[in-house]
């Protein structure tokens, strides 16, 4: 029979699964409490990092309609529930894993699809949403300036032609 604590934990995890844009699973075996606190700090604003029992996580994922995590729920598992930018959260995990080889990124779920550890690393290599938007805005701005120049060119040519005619008439007079 389920204890009230476990029922509450499953409900909280289910809510986090539903509210997250992505879920990234890691193995934290060998990390100290201060290291976990440092990782939580790196993910702050982008994700919530939670250590949970695999059985409770599996029940919560099933309750939230998330499938395909059963193979990843082996060993000590911690979950990064991403509410911000998934790219920034993946970058934070990758950077922390470089510094601390005991953190193992297992995989996760992004937009309802199960993703592997290698796909999370590719996600971490992407530029952030803000940078991509800035590049797109710059490209649009450049094409607008090009169009404005093309519209101004015939007017400038006409002005030069009129000026040349005026100068020619002044020389003739």
Please compute the mean of the pLDDT values over residues 32-36 and round it to a whole number: 89
CA pair distance 138, 144, nearest whole angstrom: 10
The DSSP-derived string for 45-104 is TTEEEEE--HHHHHHHHHHHT--S-TTT--SSEEEEEE-S-HHHHHHHHHHHHHH-TT-E
CA pair distance 105, 37, nearest whole angstrom: 17
CA–centroid distance for 32 within its chain: 27
Contact 115, 72 (CB under 8 A): no
Residue in this structure with the two tokens 């007017």, named with its chain if needed: 155
CATH 3.30.70.1730, domain 4-126, yes or no: yes
Burial of 6 (0-12, 13-18, 19+ CB in 10 A): middle
Neighbours of 143 (CB within 10 A): 10
Edge-to-edge strands, sheet with 47-51: 47-51, 77-82, 22-27, 104-110, 113-116
Q: Check whether 114 has a pLDDT greater than 80.
A: yes
Please compute the mean of the pLDDT values over residues 54-61 and round it to a whole number: 88
pLDDT tens for 5-31 read 888 888 898 888 888 888 999 998 888
Burial of 164 (0-12, 13-18, 19+ CB in 10 A): exposed
Q: Is 30 in a helix, a strand, or coil?
A: coil
The domain segmentation of the chain, as residue ranges, is 4-126, 128-173
Per-residue confidence band for 130, with pLDDT thresholds at 50, 70 and 90: confident
**Rounded percentage of the chain residues whose pLDDT exceeds 90:** 3
Please compute the mean of the pLDDT values over residues 164-171 and round it to a whole number: 83
> How confident is the model at residue 173, as a pLDDT?
67
pLDDT tens for 77-106 read 899 998 888 888 888 888 888 888 888 888
């Amino acid at each position: 029979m389920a204890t009230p604590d476990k029922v509450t934990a499953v409900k909280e995890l289910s809510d986090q699964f539903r509210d997250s844009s992505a879920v990234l699973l890691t193995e934290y075996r060998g990390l100290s409490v201060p290291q976990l606190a440092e990782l939580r700090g790196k993910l702050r604003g982008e994700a919530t990092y939670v250590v949970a029992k695999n059985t409770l996580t599996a029940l919560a994922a099933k309750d939230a309609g998330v499938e395909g995590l059963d193979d990843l729920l082996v060993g000590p598992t911690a979950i990064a529930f991403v509410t911000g930018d998934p790219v920034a959260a993946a970058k934070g995990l990758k950077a922390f894993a470089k510094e601390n080889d005991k953190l193992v990124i297992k995989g996760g779920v992004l937009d309802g699809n199960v993703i592997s550890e290698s796909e999370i690393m590719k996600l971490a290599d992407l530029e952030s949403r803000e940078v991509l938007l800035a590049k797109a805005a710059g490209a649009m701005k450049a094409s607008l300036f090009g169009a404005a120049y093309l519209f101004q060119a015939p007017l400038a040519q006409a002005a030069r032609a009129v000026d040349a005619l005026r100068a020619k008439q002044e020389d003739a007079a």
